[in-house]
């Protein structure tokens, strides 16, 4: 069966520090991968998605970047965090094998920038 992991689960970082959040998927090949942010009291905002290794699409301009160095690994990064980067970050994967194409979500990372 497929599983998706995210770490760390929680993170407290000072403004201006770098960031690296990791997401890995097991049990599937060639998934589409997604990074979402959920700010307090707000819905889900798609940040990045990737259809393959090294292929990243950005949905909104921001202080963050994403990379996909391996088929089942998706990394969210920042060189200098802002207060506004605080939120709950969710990674998701989707298989193109089935017709329904639902996304499966990881447990999330709670990021607090102070």
Partner 1 sequence: AQSVTQPDIHITVSEGASLELRCNYSYGATPYLFWYVQSPGQGLQLLLKYFSGDTLVQGIKGFEAEFKRSQSSFNLRKPSVHWSDAAEYFCAFNDYKLSFGAGTTVTVRA
Residue 73 CB, shortest distance to partner 1, in Å, is: 18
Give the x/- contact pattern for partner 1 in 73-92, rule: CB under 8 A. Answer: ---------------x-x-x
Residues touching partner 1, count (CB under 8 A): 21
Nearer to partner 1, 17 or 27 (CB): 27
Nearer to partner 1, 11 or 44 (CB): 44
Nearer to partner 1, 31 or 106 (CB): 106
Q: Of these, 11, 62, 73, 105, which contacts partner 1 (CB under 8 A)?
A: 105
User: Minimal CA–CA distance to 33: which of 61, 1, 8, 67?
Assistant: 67
User: Minimal CA–CA distance to 81: which of 98, 62, 95?
Assistant: 62
Provide φ and ψ at 98, rounded to 5°.
-100, 160
91, two tokens = 């990674």
Contacting partner 1 within 25-64 (CB under 8 A): 34, 42-44, 46, 49, 59
- CA distances to 4, 28, 83, 106 from 33, rounded to whole Å, are 10, 12, 26, 11
Whether residue 53 contacts residue 38, with contact meaning beta carbons closer than 8 Å, is answered with no
Is 101 among the residues that bind partner 1 (CB under 8 A)? yes
Residue 102 CB, shortest distance to partner 1, in Å, is: 5
CB atoms within 10 A of CB 85: 20
């Amino acid at each position: 069966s497929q599983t998706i992991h995210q770490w760390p689960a929680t993170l407290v970082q000072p403004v201006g520090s770098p960031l690296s959040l990791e997401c890995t998927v097991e049990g599937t090949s060639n998934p589409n991968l997604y990074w979402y942010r959920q700010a307090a009291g707000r819905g889900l905002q798609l940040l990045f998605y990737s259809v393959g290794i090294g292929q990243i699409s950005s949905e909104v301009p921001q202080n963050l970047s994403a990379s996909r160095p391996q088929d089942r690994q998706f990394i969210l990064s920042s060189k200098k965090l802002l207060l506004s980067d605080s939120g709950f970050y969710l990674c998701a994967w989707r298989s193109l094998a089935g017709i329904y194409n639902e996304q499966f979500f990881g447990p999330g990372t709670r990021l607090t920038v102070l």
